[in-house]
Chains A and B, each alone.
Chain A
Amino acid sequence: MASPATVGHKVVTHRTLPLVGALHAPDAPWPAVPLRKLGGRPVKVELAGVPFAVWRDAKGALGAVLDRCPHRFAPLSAGRIRPDGRLACGYHGWHFDARGQGVSPSQPGLTGCSVPSVMAFERFGWVWLAARDAPPGGELFDTEPLPFVTSWEAWVPRRLSAVLATLDQCPALDLLRARLGWDRSAAAGVRCAREASPEGFVERWEGTLDRALAWPARVPEGTSFRYERSFREVPLRATLRLSWPGRPEVVRAELFPVPEGPSSTRVVVFLFAKVASAALPWALRGRIPALLGAFTADPGQRRLTPSADDEPAFAVRFPALVQSRAALRALAARVPTGVDQTPKPWTGYKTFEVVERREETATMVTLRLRPRDGSALPSYLPGQHVTVRVTLPDGARAVRCYSLSRAPSEDGYQLTVQRTTRDGRPGLVSCYLHDHAREGTTAELRSPSGRFVLAPGALPVALVAGGVGLTPLLAMAQGLANTGAQRPCTLLLGFHSLSQVPFRETLEALCRAHRWLRVVLCLSDGALPEDSPFTCVAGRITPDVLLAHVPAEAEFHLCGPAAMLAALTPALLDRGIPPERLHSEAFGPASVVALRAGAPPAATVTFARSGLQVPWDGHTSSLVELARNHGITIPTGCCVGSCTTCMTKVLAGSVEYRQAPGEAVPEGQCLVCIAVPRGDLTLDW
């Protein structure tokens, strides 16, 4: 058995899908759907390629969850709203509250039925979505309170970067600016300056009106005007503000370019105005259809395509604007624009080739693999694993799971394998990979999977690893760095000695680049280095050590040997860490711990129909694995004792379970995916 094995290990939390990616940043709300579109049925909204089902119950409460039932992946937006306000899937009736907590009505005892959820709130007639832990969105535009006039939205068949880069050419804004500021003929007398700010940047355009304005106020010709355009990254929005120095009138538009998918963007505009007459906001509102018409009058959206001919003239006249465009392009590159363009996961196994081998430590080797057919690879969530199938020198095939040991990258998947032994016997696959994997060696991989991924939200992050359990957590730390979220993160690693710590250079580079990241090494040999960029502690990881370096309000991610988890998990629970903030994954023979405590040292398992008798010596995680090791394939589904696919008749003897079955098991049957024998056992297989 090798490094982080996840098949059959229980998971963790329901908030595990890439919602934060879709939401761009944990505390960044997106305008999702006008409230008026929410009737008695749920509505599908797509943000950065991730679909959400949004609904409002009869009492007006809002909910938003991933638009995919966890059961059989039916879209929840095709479901219905129950009288109790829960969203019910239209396929099998699984129903969910606004936090995504789910129930299977046909199997009420089934656990793990939840769906990832986000926070939904109403403001300015729109439903906004934000990560669950985001601050309430009641004060979205509180920098300068102005009366809200109206909102509208336009769908643009262009990717976000194109929309951002040419937002100043948007016909509606042109029109707004031309009506209230200047037109192109007057542009020569306009000054433009740009200032960077921590949140983005601001452009200021100033000049003198070459004509009188009739609305929103009577402004005579020759009055100076100020037009400010600022961009903020979190939440991603452009603010356009028009004013006339010395006069009370102000018109401000907040534009939210919302990436819908890889090639489409919705621009949601909220208009605010302060004018002398109370009736004038209504006059502005009346102008909106004209503005909207201008926005959509050009079906090809040619004006949203940057014109190469314009660029030189712009660069000479308004160098600040050209700088702004570069900044916007950089900003757009940081915002997820959809997942549809990315390669899709494959089914079954795909043949990969080792393209790089790197020795990390004396017992750990890192392999980078790429598909032999050259195809593009689907991305994955940091923390996920791949199932690897290799053909051993004697022709036998063996399967193991390995965590991906870095954040997604275009140049292949990276695994880090620890050479393992168990009770003196070499690990079958890990030793094969150590001894035989070279550039050109092939292995078969299933698509990345697994639910042990970074918990979304804004809470601090604790990544706690024992030994090679570091691999998924390193990927999570890199993933955090890639989002730019600056979420406080502590990587607490337990090793015997410094020489056993892999990825030291990578960790150092991460720490140097990101001040929000801290690495704490717990070295059980007590030999602490004198000069280390990391905080070093003598001894093993204990709850006291852990809580001394990590705030108690953090999301805890634990990965390591079962013994480590067995020691830490109850202790953390005892100290008041709620279970929903404890995410863990064991590797290695997790079941052996339970087995050694309760099972006899040896037993004989008989597979009656196969006519096979095999010894059970406690080294196998379950009866399914025992069967598989002897050439008997018992169909399995969930591998955690819930789906009952593997239900098998017990002809003689009895079993015990290494975790509680999700379903009542009828007398005389057993779930072999989680069962181990209590003594001699005969199965009907």
Chain B
Amino acid sequence: MLPAVTRFFHPVLPSRELSKGEAVVTLAGRRYGLSRGRSEVGARALGDAPPARVCERYGYLWLGDEALPASAEPAIDDEGFEHVGCFGARFEAPLHVAFDNFSEDEHTPWVHHFLGWREADLSRLDFRSENHPDRTEVRYSAPQRPSVWTPALLLLPGDHFHNQWVTRFDPVRTVYTLHWFDPKTRRPRPVVSRFAIYFVPETAGRTWLHTFAMARLEPASLRFLMPVVRRVVPFLGRNEVGDDARWIPNVAGTPFSFEGMRLGRFDAPLVHNHHLLETLYWQASMG
């Protein structure tokens, strides 16, 4: 059985999926019944699960300990962004495997089909990462690969893709901020998107990724295009996460320890993340 994780609020179900009646969700192997009353949503612990309560934020139902104060309720770093959609994706793999996949972009040319760069542009890849006691910060930058979708994001051929993210562990989540820029002038393109992805362990072998998509358009004169962006950004986000979900069963058996792996420089955040995963999130040795 996984250690209990309800000392943090975790997103467990899109609000739209509990319009009425009851739904059963599983968090770290513990089952809860969620039901919507006239004014609020209630949580009922099933089996041996400890009591929990639900709050509703950002179009999702979030589950946490019954005693968690209101100050512990989730707050997504969305300043300056508009929420444009949210969705869940099931990963048939343990938390650390799904999480590792989202802790590096090295796999982009092989697993993904739109965002990121081509194998041919690897020599132009710029990568930075920083390890901190409570988080990791990572940046990737490289030429955006050609795609039929680039016009929808107001990109021009040759633009560079920039993905910058911060991962925290209360609960496990990463906020990715993606933008594009002209490599000659360094001027950013109008669309900036942000995805806050929460990594939620359902069981020891299955993880849900709940994603909150955000976007902004600059300058203000282009805001009339926002209806297009509202559709394109979540669509692309869902596709990219779907690419990862399709690949992940191939590596689902990867051990938590990196013993024996030939890690490279892009894996530096993963090692630190595992340390923080153990000490900050699980607060228990996985051994």
Contacts and interface: CB of A to CB of B under 8 A. Distances in A.
Nearest to A634: B131
Contacts of A647: 268
B106 A447 contact: no
Contacts of B125: 106
B257 interface: yes
Interface string A82-98: 00000011111100000
Contacts of A447: 257, 259
Contact of B268 (A346, A349, A643): A643
Given A72-B251, A93-B109, A106-B106, A663 B265 contact: yes
B131 A72 contact: no
A466 to B, nearest CB: 27
B272 A71 contact: no
Contacts of B262: 70-71, 110, 112-113, 638, 642
A636 B271 contact: yes
A644 B250 contact: no
A518 to B, nearest CB: 33
B256 A347 contact: yes
Contact of A78 (B107, B131, B250): B250
A643 to B, nearest CB: 4
Nearest to A647: B268
B275 A635 contact: yes
A449 B260 contact: yes
A345 B255 contact: yes
B81 interface: no
Interface string B114-132: 0000010010010000010
B265 A644 contact: yes
B255 A645 contact: no
B185 interface: no
A643 B263 CA distance: 6
B235 interface: no
B285 interface: yes
A642 B110 CA distance: 23
B268 A645 contact: yes
Contacts of B257: 347-348, 447
B264 interface: yes
Given A91-B110, A346-B287, A642-B263, A637 B251 contact: no
Contacts of A451: 260
B261 interface: yes
A73 B247 CA distance: 13
Contacts of B250: 74-75, 78, 90-91
A570 B74 CA distance: 61
A375 interface: no
A90 B110 CA distance: 6
A232 B248 CA distance: 43
B287 A635 contact: no
Interface residues of B, number: 35
Contacts of A107: 264-266
B246 to A, nearest CB: 11
A93 B110 contact: yes
B264 A642 contact: yes
Contacts of A487: none
B144 to A, nearest CB: 17
B243 to A, nearest CB: 11
Contact of B264 (A75, A104, A446): A104
B119 A348 contact: no
Q: How large is the interface on A (under 10, 10 to 19, 20 to 34, 35 or more residues)?
A: 35 or more
A105 interface: yes
Contacts of A99: none
Given A90-B111, A91-B250, A71 B268 contact: no
A179 interface: no
Interface string B93-109: 00000001000001101
B1 interface: no
Contacts of A643: 263-265, 267-268, 271
B285 A348 contact: yes
Interface in A449-486: 449, 451
Q: Give the residue among A449, A637, A647, A663 with the most B Cβ atoms within 10 A.
A: A637
A647 B106 CA distance: 19
Contacts, number: 110
A343 to B, nearest CB: 14
A177 interface: no
A14 to B, nearest CB: 10
B258 interface: yes
B19 interface: no
A73 B275 contact: no
Contacts of A637: 258, 263, 267-268, 271
Q: Give the residue among A75, A88, A638 with the most B Cβ atoms within 10 A.
A: A638
A91 B107 contact: yes
A88 B109 CA distance: 12
B286 interface: yes
A635 B271 CA distance: 7
A346 B286 CA distance: 9
Interface string A643-679: 1110100000000000000010000000000000000
A638 B258 CA distance: 9
Given A72-B100, A93-B110, A105-B122, A635 B272 contact: yes
B251 A74 contact: yes
A331 to B, nearest CB: 32
B254 interface: yes
A588 B55 CA distance: 57
B287 A645 contact: no
A350 interface: yes
A446 B253 CA distance: 19
A33 B36 CA distance: 56
A106 B107 CA distance: 9
B106 A92 contact: yes
Nearest to A348: B287
Contacts of B261: 70-73
Given A74-B251, A91-B247, A635-B271, A449 B263 contact: no
A348 B110 contact: no
Contact of A349 (B131, B256, B263, B287): B287
Interface in B54-107: 100, 106-107
A30 to B, nearest CB: 24
Contacts of B106: 92, 106
Nearest to A110: B264
Contacts of A74: 250-251
A106 B122 contact: yes
B264 to A, nearest CB: 5
Contacts of B260: 73, 449, 451
A637 B111 CA distance: 24
A635 B277 CA distance: 13
Contacts of A92: 106-107, 110
Contacts of B122: 105-106
Given A93-B110, A113-B262, A637-B271, A72 B254 contact: yes
Contacts of B247: 90-91
B88 to A, nearest CB: 23
B264 A350 contact: no
B250 to A, nearest CB: 5
Contacts of B259: 345, 446-447, 449
A270 to B, nearest CB: 34
Q: Give the residue among B109, B247, B271 with the most A Cβ atoms within 10 A.
A: B271
B265 A642 contact: yes
B113 to A, nearest CB: 13
Given A72-B263, A350-B287, 4 more contacts: A73-B253, A78-B250, A635-B131, A645-B267
Interface of B: 100, 106-107, 109-111, 119, 122, 125, 131, 247, 250-251, 253-268, 271-272, 275, 285-287
6 closest pairs, A vs B, by CB?
Answer: A348-B287, A643-B263, A637-B271, A645-B271, A70-B262, A645-B268
21 contacts: A72-B251, A73-B260, A75-B250, A88-B110, A93-B119, A106-B266, A107-B264, A110-B265, A347-B286, A348-B285, A348-B287, A446-B259, A635-B271, A635-B272, A637-B258, A644-B265, A644-B268, A645-B263, A645-B267, A645-B268, A645-B272
